[in-house]
Amino acid sequence: MRDGIAQAMLRLAPLGLPRDAASSVELVLAEALNNTIEHALPRVTRKTQIEIRGDYKTGVLHLTIIDQGKPMPNGAVPTGPAPKLDVDMPNIPEGGFGWYMIHSLARKIEYMRVGNTNHLNLHFDIKP
């Protein structure tokens, strides 16, 4: 996963993304790829690939993550509500931040199942 993120960020480098935008893209990619590996591909026994496609036009970066794993539950992107943090210290959740973070950092998120593949489309506004 680290190599895939590093390759994606290397290919985005010529765009000269502002540091905060590049950091946001990298965080979203890390969380989305982690979710793919953990939830869509946990029991895949055959060799499989995760593909990242990108397109940049006039201040909008569009990335698509494609995998051959299980479809998302209910065929939709999880809503990602903010985890409840107004609890006692021992009850602070260890997880549940991923989709909230993805929704917070990406302008638009779309999911579709195409044949036996998942397509997660992520759109980012890139300000110069």
pLDDT, tens digit (0-9, with 9 covering 90-100), for 33-43 = 999 988 888 77
Specify the pLDDT at position 89: 67
The SS3 of residue 92 is: coil
pLDDT in tens, 12-67: 999 999 999 999 999 999 999 999 988 888 777 777 889 999 999 989 999 999 99
For the domain made up of 2-125, give the CATH fold. Answer: Heat Shock Protein 90 (3.30.565)
- How far apart, in whole angstroms, are the C-alpha atoms of residue 99 and residue 77? 9
Which tokens in the block code for residue 43? 């029991």
Domain residue spans of the chain:
2-125
Specify the pLDDT at position 109: 97
Q: Is the pLDDT of residue 98 over 70?
A: yes
Instruction: List, in sequence order, every residue forming a beta bridge with 110; answer none if it has no partner.
Output: 121
Instruction: List, in sequence order, every residue forming a beta bridge with 74; answer none if it has no partner.
Output: none
